[in-house]
């Protein structure tokens, strides 16, 4: 990784004061930032933590890991920056003799450097390859691979479920017809096809939804969140807190329902005859309504506008 890539990494962190206030650590506590990015949240946590705390960062993006390692090197409490998707990073904690943690943060989604660099392929605003992998070393399938190989039914359900786009089946049909003559590799190609198929009405919203669907699929974002969050809740010490900042309704629903199912509330769909979610009582939800950025924060950092922060605390389980 180039020094230049690290020095150019700019990501304005969201809800920093709120994160520090809600996730303050006990002396000697273990804290893991599962989406460390450029390290801004973890740096603020480090500033507020005792010198005998152990702080870890995790990210699946190589540039983020390199940047966080460089920027957090001066904090003696920052023990390690782990390069891994968070669901597998949790499994690797046992090898590091970590059996309980006292605080955890997930600041979901993509970072500004991922979105802003055309070569990463996350945006429909610029050209670039249809890549969208957060970890180009570990994930093999790109967005172009999905567009070129998934069946029409798979594309329809991906765009409908992960993009919440009503015109999913029309879009999937057009993609399958187009790739017969010209397989996808460039972002401009997909954009031009959607423009031709759908016309100008609501085009920007639809483009955002289709790109969101592809990004979620390429990185298994919702599977990662569900499994990472469940594992982290297991690892929390009594009184330990987990906070999640989400940026769209699919993520927020997983966070809300995972928390609710651990305060003993059933979160099964109402049409199920019996409960299958097996609610347990292990958490206390500290934010019944999510915390959202102030108008001042949104005007200074428009990418904060959809952020929702939820926090829960592990309770003592009596026998």
Ligand X SMILES: C[S@@+](CC[C@H](N)C(=O)[O-])C[C@H]1O[C@@H](n2cnc3c(N)ncnc32)[C@H](O)[C@@H]1O
Residues that bind ligand X (CB under 6 A): 11, 13, 35, 37-41, 58-61, 64, 85-86, 107, 109, 111, 134, 224
Degrees to nearest 5, angle at CA 40 with 39 and 46:
85
Q: What's the Cα-to-Cα distance from 301 to each of 12, 180, 277, 317, rounded to whole Å? A: 7, 42, 38, 41
> Minimum distance from CB of 237 to ligand X (Å)?
22
- Please provide the DSSP assignment of 67-86 as one string: HHHHHTTT-TTEEEEEES-H
Spatial separation of the C-alpha atoms in residues 226 and 314, rounded to whole Å: 17
Residue 86 or 211: the one with the smaller Cβ distance to ligand X is 86
**Smallest gap from residue 55 Cβ to ligand X (A):** 13
Nearest-5° Cα angle at 170, 200 to 168: 90
Q: Which is nearer to ligand X, 11 or 248 (CB)?
A: 11
Task: Name the minimum Å distance from CB 38 to ligand X.
Answer: 4
Q: Could you tell me the smallest distance in angstroms from the CB atom of residue 9 to ligand X?
A: 8
Spell out the residues 6+ positions from residue 297 whose beta carbon is closer than 8 angstroms to its own.
Answer: 14, 15, 304
Beta bridge partners of 49: none
Closest CB to ligand X among 45 and 171? Answer: 45
Considering the complex, what minimum distance in angstroms separates the CB of residue 156 from ligand X?
25
Kindly tell me which of 134 and 232 has the beta carbon lying closer to ligand X: 134
Name the CA dihedral angle for 134, 137, 140, 143, rounded to a multiple of 10 degrees: 30
Cβ 178 to ligand X shortest distance, Å: 30
Using the CB atoms, write b or e for 96-124: b if 16+ within 10 Å.
eebeebbbbbbbbbbbebbbbbeebbbbb
Q: How far is CA 197 from CA 26, 131, 167, 215, 276, in A?
A: 56, 22, 10, 21, 41
State the residue number with the nearest CB to ligand X: 37
**Contact call for residues 221 and 85 (beta carbons, < 8 A):** no
Which residue in 120, 83, 115, 104 sits closest to 245, CA to CA?
104
Nearest approach, Cβ of residue 12 and ligand X (Å): 8
CB of 121 to ligand X, least distance (A): 14
Nearer residue to ligand X within complex by CB, 156 or 219: 219
Smallest Cα–Cα separation from 16: which of 306, 305, 304? 304
What token pair was written down for 20?
């520090």
User: By C-beta, is 46 or 150 nearer to ligand X?
Assistant: 46
Q: Which is closer to ligand X, CB of 40 or CB of 49? A: 40
User: Which of 194/216 has CB closer to ligand X?
Assistant: 216
């Amino acid at each position: 990784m180039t020094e230049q890539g690290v020095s150019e990494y700019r990501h304005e962190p969201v809800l920093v004061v709120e994160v520090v206030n809600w996730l303050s650590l006990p002396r000697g506590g273990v804290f893991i930032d599962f989406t460390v990015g450029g390290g801004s949240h973890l740096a603020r946590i480090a500033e507020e933590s005792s010198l005998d705390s152990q702080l870890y960062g995790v990210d699946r993006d190589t540039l983020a890991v390199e940047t966080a390692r460089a920027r957090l090197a001066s904090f003696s409490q920052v023990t390690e920056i782990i390069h891994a998707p968070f669901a597998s990073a949790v499994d690797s904690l046992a090898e590091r003799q970590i059996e309980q943690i006292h605080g955890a943060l997930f600041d979901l989604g993509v970072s500004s450097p991922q979105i802003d660099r055309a070569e990463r392929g996350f945006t429909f605003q610029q050209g670039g390859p249809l890549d969208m992998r957060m970890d180009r070393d570990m994930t093999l399938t790109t967005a172009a691979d999905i567009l070129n190989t998934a069946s029409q039914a798979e594309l329809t359900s991906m765009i409908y479920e992960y993009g919440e786009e009503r015109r999913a089946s029309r879009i999937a049909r057009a993609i399958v017809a187009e790739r017969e003559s010209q397989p996808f590799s460039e972002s401009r190609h997909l954009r031009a096809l959607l423009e031709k198929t759908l016309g100008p009405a609501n085009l920007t919203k639809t483009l955002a939804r289709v790109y969101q669907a592809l990004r979620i699929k390429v990185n298994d974002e919702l599977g990662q969140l569900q499994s990472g969050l469940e594992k982290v809740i297991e690892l929390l010490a009594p009184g330990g807190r987990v906070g999640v900042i989400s940026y769209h309704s699919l993520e927020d629903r997983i966070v809300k329902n995972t928390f609710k199912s651990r305060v003993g509330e059933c979160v099964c769909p109402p049409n199920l005859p019996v409960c299958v979610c097996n609610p347990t009582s292990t958490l206390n939800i500290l934010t019944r309504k999510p915390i959202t950025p102030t108008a001042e924060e949104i005007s200074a950092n428009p990418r904060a506008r959809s952020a929702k922060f939820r926090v829960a605390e592990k309770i003592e389980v009596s026998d």
